[in-house]
Amino acid sequence: MQTLDTLLPGQTATIQEFTDDFLSLKFIEMGCLPGEKIKLSYIAPLGDPIAIEVSGYLLSLRKQEAATIVVKVNPENNVESCVI
């Protein structure tokens, strides 16, 4: 089981499920739904928080929050040239 906080910059994945009830409500209204494709855009210079691309916009979240999102890394994924 892989969670969102372990993705590398440029990697894409699909949201599977959430492990925190309260945060899941927030994530869903922000357009992070199970089945939705996401991409880790970049990581803050101090290693936390992270910025992901979802539903056509950029969302930032802390690693501990990202750890409550279970994802499946897309197989065709090769880590793209990182933006930063």
Partner 1 sequence: MSSKVPHISIALIGNPNSGKSTLFNSLTGLNQKTGNYAGVTVDKHYGSYKFKGVDYKITDLPGTYSLYPKSIDEEVACKALLSEKDSIDVAVIVLDSSNLKRHLLLATQVIDLKKRCVLVLNMIDEAEKNKIVIYKEDLEKLFDVPVVQVNSRSKKGLNDLREAIAAAKVSDTIFYDFEKQKQLLPSNDSYQRIIDSQFQENKSKIKEFELADNIHRFAKIKYIIAKCVKQPEQLNKSITQKLDAFFTHKFFGFGFFFLILFIIFQFIFYLAEYPMTWIEEGFAQLMTVTADTLPKGRLNDLIVNGILAGLSGIVVFVPQIALLFFFIAILEDTGYMARASFILDKVMRRFGLNGKSVIPMISSVACAVPSIMSTRTITNWKDRIITILVTPLISCSARLPVYTLLISIMFVGKKSIGIFNYQGMVLMGLYILGFSAALLAALVLKYVLKTTEKSFFIMELPVYRKPQWQTVIMLVFGKVKVFLFDAGKIILAISIVLWFLTSHAPNNDFEKLEKIAILNNTSGQNLNSQKLEASYAGILGKKIEPVIKPLGFDWKIGIALITSFAAREVFVGTMATIYSSGDSDNTETLREKLVAEKNFETHEPVYTKAVCWSLLIFYVFAMQCMSTLATTYRETKHWKWPAIQLVFMTGLAYLSSFLVYNFLS
Q: What's the rounded Cα separation, in Å, for the pair 2 and 66?
A: 11
1 scored as a contact of partner 1 (CB under 8 A): no
Q: How far is the CB of 48 from partner 1 (least distance, A)?
A: 5
65 scored as a contact of partner 1 (CB under 8 A): yes
Q: What's the rounded Cα separation, in Å, for the pair 52 and 34?
A: 15
Q: What's the rounded Cα separation, in Å, for the pair 53 and 34?
A: 15
Using CB under 8 A, count the residues that bind partner 1. Answer: 32
Query: Which residues of the chain form contacts with partner 1 (CB under 8 A)?
Result: 21-31, 33, 41-42, 44-49, 51, 55-62, 65, 83-84
